[in-house]
C-alpha cells in the first residue's frame, strides 16, 4: 500500500508540473561573453538551443507557464525568446498588457530553470528609443538579479538602418540596462535584417561588456553566401547569437529546406553559436512549429506539430538533460500575495538523504532547516510592500543541490489610490470624459476591483489595470461634483480617494490681451508683439493683425510675433490679436501705437539677480540686488518670492531688503521681471 501511495503521489507531482530538478541555469550559471563565445559560470563555451514565441500581439495564447514547462521537459529547450511586439497593436498601444505577458514568460522560465530572451521585437527601434530605454530600465530593475535573463534590444534593423545609427541606439539602451543589471548578456541587432554581421564585426561597440550580435537566417532563402558573411564575423572575433531562424523562406512561409537547415545548424554547432527557432505558434505558415488549433498548454503529439516543429524538436532534444535532487515550493506561485507571518514550505525528494534546505528572501539567506517538513516562517512585515523573490536550495549528503524560486508580492500596507485623471478642481465635459486611477501601482495583483462614483452614483467598475471608466457629462447639469474611487483588495479591505471637479459643458470664449507694446506707445524698428491668451479648454491659435490685415498665426504659447515697422509709414497704426479656443470660439484685443522712424529696433530688456547667488543659504535681513537694462529704457522691475509679489522697483539701483524670518525654512524662489518702455519683459 505504501508503494502505491508513493507512486500516486509522484505521478500527482508530475501532472501538477511543479517538480524542480537541477536546472539548466544551475548547470551553466551566470552566462557571460568571453572572446567570441558565450561561456558558462566555469568559463566553458556553451550553446543554447530553444524556441522563439510569436509576436506578443498575435501569438499570446502560447505565452504561458504550461507551454514553457512542456517545451522545457519534452523538447528539452534551455532558452525561450519572448518576442514582444512594439508597433501594430504591440507595446506602444498597450504597455501594461505586453509587459505582463513578458513578465509571465520570464517568471515561468525562471521557475523552470531555463534562460529567457526579453526581445524588443521592432523593425524601427531608433524611432522608439525613449520607449525602449524606459522598458528595459523596468525589466532590468525587476529581473536583472536573475542569471536566466538575456536582453535583445533591437529585433531586426531593416535595410534603411545604418550600423552607426544602430550603434547610437544600442549605446543608449545598454546604458539604461547597465544602471540596474551589470552582468546579464545583451544582444544587439545588426544591419539588413540581422544578416550583415560581417559589417558589425568591422566596427563593434566599444566600452561595453557581455554584448553579442544577432544573426538571423531563413534556410530556404539564406544559404552559403550568408554563412560566409557569418564566418567573416567569426574570424574577426565577433560573438554571434542566432536569436531567430526558420526552416523555410524569409517570408515565414513557402517551401522548407531541411538540407540547408542541417548545413546551418552544423555550422552553428561547430562554432558553439546558440539559437532560437521561429516560432512557437500555430499560425498557418511554414515557420510555425504547431498546426492551427494546437493545444495552448503543451502536451502536443506529433499530429499537432508541423514538419518544422518535428524537425526542430529533434534538434532541441540534443540538449543535455538536467537532472538531480528534486525540490518544489508548496502553495506559493508567482504573483502570490503574502502578508503578516507566512509559512514557506519546501517539498524535497532525493535518492540520497537530504542534509539541509536553505530559504532565501531576495537572495539573502533567511533560514536553514535540516529536518522534514522543511519550512520557514517568514515575517513579511519586516519587508517593504512590493515584489520579493523567494528561493529554496536543497542539498543531499553528497552536496548535490537543486533549487526552486518564485516572485511574490508582500502586502502589509494600506490601499494606495491616486486619481490620475482628471486633476482636482478640473473642468470636465463631453460624452466620454476619462476617469482613471492608479491603485497599488506596481503590484496591482493585490486589488480585486475598483469602483468609480460621481457623488454617490456608481458610474463604472474596472478589474484590470490601468483602472478607468468614462463619464457622459452631458447627462448632468453644469456644476461642482465629487469623483470618488473605491478599491477592494485581496485581504477584503477597501480604500477610497476623492477629488472635486466641475462639469462644464458650456464652453466659455477665450481671454486674450496684448502684453507688449502698450496702448498709445511709440515704437520703431523690430518690435515683438507679446500676447497672453487663456481658455478653459485650451487655445487653438492666436492671429496677429496690423491695420486689420492678418500677418501671422501662432499655434503655441508663449504667443508672439516680431513686427518689422520699417516697412510701414510713420504715424498711427492698429495692432489686433484674435484668439481661438478648441471649439473655435474667438476673442480679440486691440491697441493703437505710433510708428516712428527715429526709433530703431526695440529689444526686450535684460535682467539679472546679482545677490544673493543661486542656491545660496540666507537668513535674517537680506538685500536683494538686481541689474536691469534696455536699449530704450527700463520702466520697472517686479520682484517676487515664490508666487508673491514683493515690490515694484522703478529706478536704479534696483534693490530690496527681505526679512527672511517671515518665511519658512526651506527652498524658495526669488524672481525678477523687467519691463521696458513699451511693456516688453
Residue 673 to residues 68, 443, 563, 606, Cα–Cα distance (Å) = 64, 47, 23, 9
Residues 6+ apart with CB under 8 A from 294: 282, 300, 304, 305
Backbone angles phi, psi at 279, to 5 degrees: -155, 160
Task: Indicate the SS3 state at residue 257.
Answer: coil
C-alpha cell at 328: 518544489
Does residue 244 have an active-site annotation? Answer: yes
The sign of the dihedral angle between the CA atoms of 39, 406, 104, 246 is positive
Say if residues 149 and 81 touch (Cβ distance below 8 Å): no
Torsion of CA 486, 491, 492, 497, to 10 degrees: -20
For the residues of 201-238, what is the DSSP string, one character each?
Answer: HHS---S--SEEEEEEEETTT--HHHHHHHHHHHHTT-
Choose among 246, 192, 236, 235: nearest CA to 214: 192
Residues 6+ apart with CB under 8 A from 389: 145, 360, 361, 362, 363, 405, 406, 407
Query: Of 112, 152, 156, 543, which one is the catalytic site residue?
Result: 156
Choose among 453, 152, 467: nearest CA to 278: 152
Say if residues 213 and 205 touch (Cβ distance below 8 Å): no
What is the Cα–Cα distance from 617 to 663, expressed in whole angstroms? Answer: 13
Separation of CA 110 from chain center: 21
Query: Of 26, 112, 152, 244, which one is the catalytic site residue?
Result: 244
Backbone angles phi, psi at 487, to 5 degrees: -115, 145
- Catalytic residue annotation: 156, 244
Amino acid at each position: 500500500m505504501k508503494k502505491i501511495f508513493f507512486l500516486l503521489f509522484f505521478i500527482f507531482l508530475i501532472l501538477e508540473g511543479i517538480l524542480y530538478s537541477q536546472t539548466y541555469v544551475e548547470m551553466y550559471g551566470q552566462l557571460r561573453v568571453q572572446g567570441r563565445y558565450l561561456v558558462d559560470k566555469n568559463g566553458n563555451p556553451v550553446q543554447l538551443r530553444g524556441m522563439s514565441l510569436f509576436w506578443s500581439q498575435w501569438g499570446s495564447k502560447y505565452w504561458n507557464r504550461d507551454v514553457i514547462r512542456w517545451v522545457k521537459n519534452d523538447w528539452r529547450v534551455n532558452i525561450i525568446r519572448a518576442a514582444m511586439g512594439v508597433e501594430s497593436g504591440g507595446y506602444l498601444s498597450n504597455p501594461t498588457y505586453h509587459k505582463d505577458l513578458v513578465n509571465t514568460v520570464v517568471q515561468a522560465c525562471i521557475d523552470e530553470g531555463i534562460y529567457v530572451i526579453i526581445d524588443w521585437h521592432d523593425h524601427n527601434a531608433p524611432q522608439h528609443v525613449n520607449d525602449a530605454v524606459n522598458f528595459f530600465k523596468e525589466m532590468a530593475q525587476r529581473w536583472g538579479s536573475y542569471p536566466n535573463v538575456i536582453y535583445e534590444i533591437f529585433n531586426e534593423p531593416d535595410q534603411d538602418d545604418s550600423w552607426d545609427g544602430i550603434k547610437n541606439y544600442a549605446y543608449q539602451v545598454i546604458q539604461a540596462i547597465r544602471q540596474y543589471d551589470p552582468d546579464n548578456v545583451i544582444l544587439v541587432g545588426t544591419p539588413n535584417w540581422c544578416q550583415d554581421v560581417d559589417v558589425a564585426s568591422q566596427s563593434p561597440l566599444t566600452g561595453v561588456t557581455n554584448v553579442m550580435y544577432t544573426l538571423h537566417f531563413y534556410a530556404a532563402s539564406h544559404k552559403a553566401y550568408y554563412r560566409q558573411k557569418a564566418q567573416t564575423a567569426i574570424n574577426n572575433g565577433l560573438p554571434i547569437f542566432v536569436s531567430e531562424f526558420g526552416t523555410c523562406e524569409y517570408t515565414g512561409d513557402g517551401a522548407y529546406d531541411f538540407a540547408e537547415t542541417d548545413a546551418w545548424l552544423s555550422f552553428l554547432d561547430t562554432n558553439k553559436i546558440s539559437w532560437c527557432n521561429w516560432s512557437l505558434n500555430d499560425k498557418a505558415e511554414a515557420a510555425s512549429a504547431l498546426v492551427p488549433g494546437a493545444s495552448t498548454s503543451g502536451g502536443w503529439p506529433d499530429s499537432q506539430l508541423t514538419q518544422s516543429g518535428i524537425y526542430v524538436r529533434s534538434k532541441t532534444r540534443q540538449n543535455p538533460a538536467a537532472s538531480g535532487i528534486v525540490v518544489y515550493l508548496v502553495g506559493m506561485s508567482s504573483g502570490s500575495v503574502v502578508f503578516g507571518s507566512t509559512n514557506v514550505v519546501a517539498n524535497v525528494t532525493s535518492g540520497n538523504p537530504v542534509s539541509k534546505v536553505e530559504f532565501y528572501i531576495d537572495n539573502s539567506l533567511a533560514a536553514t532547516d535540516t529536518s522534514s517538513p522543511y519550512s520557514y516562517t517568514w515575517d513579511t512585515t519586516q519587508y517593504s510592500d512590493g515584489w520579493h523573490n523567494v528561493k529554496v536550495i536543497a542539498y543531499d549528503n553528497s552536496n548535490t543541490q537543486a533549487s526552486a524560486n518564485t516572485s511574490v508580492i508582500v502586502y502589509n500596507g494600506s490601499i494606495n489610490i491616486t486619481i490620475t485623471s482628471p486633476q482636482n478642481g478640473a473642468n470636465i465635459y463631453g460624452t466620454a470624459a476619462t476617469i482613471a486611477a492608479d491603485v497599488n501601482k506596481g503590484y496591482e495583483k493585490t486589488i480585486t476591483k475598483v469602483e468609480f462614483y460621481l457623488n454617490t452614483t456608481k458610474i463604472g467598475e474596472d478589474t484590470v489595470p490601468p483602472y478607468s471608466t468614462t463619464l457622459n457629462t452631458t447627462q448632468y447639469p453644469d456644476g461642482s461634483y465629487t469623483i470618488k474611487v473605491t478599491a477592494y483588495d485581496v485581504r477584503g479591505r477597501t480604500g477610497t480617494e476623492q477629488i472635486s471637479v466641475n462639469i462644464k459643458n458650456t464652453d466659455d470664449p477665450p481671454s486674450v490681451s496684448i502684453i507688449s507694446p502698450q496702448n498709445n506707445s511709440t515704437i520703431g524698428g523690430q518690435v515683438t508683439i507679446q500676447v497672453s491668451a487663456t481658455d478653459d479648454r485650451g487655445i487653438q491659435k492666436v492671429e496677429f493683425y496690423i491695420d486689420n490685415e492678418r500677418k501671422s498665426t501662432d499655434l503655441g504659447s508663449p504667443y508672439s510675433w516680431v513686427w518689422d515697422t520699417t516697412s510701414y509709414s510713420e504715424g498711427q497704426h492698429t495692432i489686433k490679436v484674435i484668439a481661438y479656443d478648441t471649439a473655435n470660439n474667438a476673442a480679440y484685443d486691440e491697441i493703437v501705437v505710433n510708428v516712428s522712424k527715429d526709433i530703431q529696433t526695440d529689444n526686450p530688456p535684460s535682467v539679472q539677480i546679482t545677490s544673493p547667488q543661486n542656491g545660496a543659504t540666507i537668513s535674517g535681513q537680506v538685500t536683494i540686488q538686481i541689474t536691469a537694462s534696455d536699449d530704450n529704457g527700463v520702466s520697472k522691475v517686479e520682484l517676487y518670492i515664490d508666487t508673491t509679489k514683493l515690490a515694484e522697483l522703478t529706478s536704479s539701483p534696483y534693490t530690496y531688503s527681505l526679512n527672511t524670518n517671515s518665511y519658512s525654512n526651506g527652498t524658495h524662489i526669488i524672481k525678477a521681471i523687467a519691463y521696458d518702455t513699451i511693456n516688453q519683459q
